[in-house]
Amino acid sequence: MTRVRITRLRPLLLGLGGLAVIMAGLGTAVALWTPPASASRQGSPAGQICRPQRPCLAIVVDDVGRDLAALERLLAVRLDLTYSVLPDGRHTAAALEAIRAHGREILLHMPMAPVDPGRITDEKVVLGRDEPLEEALDSSLERVPDAVGVNNHMGSALCQDAPAVRRVLRRLGQQNLWFLDSRTSARSVFCQQAKPLGVPCIERDVFLDHPPEPGALHRQLVAVVGTARQRGWAVAIAHPHPETVELLKAVEQRLAGVVQIRRLSVLFATREPRNGT
């Protein structure tokens, strides 16, 4: 895989200088914060709530378990990223071991049925294709035992199926897990259905690297930081593309100076709720 030259990111870095202007009202720069592994299931200290004056950004890396080299490069970035691991990836076991060694947070990246069956590639278990849903979910969670929550891989069909969604959410609620809706369909009902069931649910705000080219990365990063500043928190989903790795390496210090980079469970515990979710 060809490594992206940093010179390709120079326009992006110049553009990120504007983040300091966007976030000028924050005052003192916020330092990087790396919570202990136990923080995933605990509340946050008083005064640490994510709010516009101290905005939080969670960056979730999807599709982990396919490429160990890309994962190692991401783990070398000094940002508290959250890693969403495929249950049946070629390198799932090794990826989990590496993430544990770095003390990072883990989600289950659960394959779910898409509208187009042709999008299913090497996934062995796909919710909505394999029945019953509960057993398929349980078996996947067993292969990613460190998961503190779940987000969907694909799923444009299942996420519109309210009865199936409720079954998935009930199972997560029984295991004290929360859900991140990747929003692979604008018609997803996951968070809508989660609220009456009492299952915590958050929707992602942007795909950081879709498409994975520097100009798009820049625009999406600036957009999601703006969302965090306005609302107090935001969620970006990224992938282990070489362009994404280079971006995060290049901006880690500058980004940490304008927004708190938090693992996703911290947002669940400390964000100011929106519309009761």
Q: Is 179 in contact with 141 (CB distance < 8 Å)?
A: no
Pseudo-torsion of CA 106, 110, 114, 117, nearest 10°? 120
State which residues form the domain around 225.
6-38+49-270
Instruction: Write the CATH number for 250.
Output: 3.20.20.370
Alpha-carbon gap, residue 139 to 103, rounded angstroms:
24
pTM of the predicted model, to two decimals?
Answer: 0.84
Examine residue 113 and state whether it is found in any structural domain, yes or no: yes
Region 212-231: mean pLDDT is: 94
Examine residue 275 and state whether it is found in any structural domain, yes or no: no
Examine residue 266 and state whether it is found in any structural domain, yes or no: yes
Q: What is the number of structural domains in the chain?
A: 1
DSSP annotation of 37 reads: G
Examine residue 277 and state whether it is found in any structural domain, yes or no: no
Cis-peptide, bond into residue 211, ω within 30° of zero: yes
Examine residue 43 and state whether it is found in any structural domain, yes or no: no
> Checking phi first, is residue 65 left (phi over 0); if not, alpha (psi -120 to 50) or beta?
left
Examine residue 32 and state whether it is found in any structural domain, yes or no: yes
Alpha-carbon gap, residue 166 to 218, rounded angstroms:
36
| pLDDT in the model for residue 274 | 56
DSSP annotation of 273 reads: P
Q: Which helix (H) or strand (E) holds 244?
A: helix 242-256
Model confidence at 272, pLDDT cuts 50, 70, 90, reads low
Query: For the chain, what percentages of helix, strand and coil (3-state, to nearest 5) are there?
Result: 45, 20, 40
Q: Is 263 in contact with 39 (CB distance < 8 Å)?
A: yes
Region 45-55: mean pLDDT is: 76
Question: What 3-state class would DSSP assign to 16?
Answer: helix
Name the least confident of 76-90, 148-162, 246-260.
246-260
Examine residue 171 and state whether it is found in any structural domain, yes or no: yes
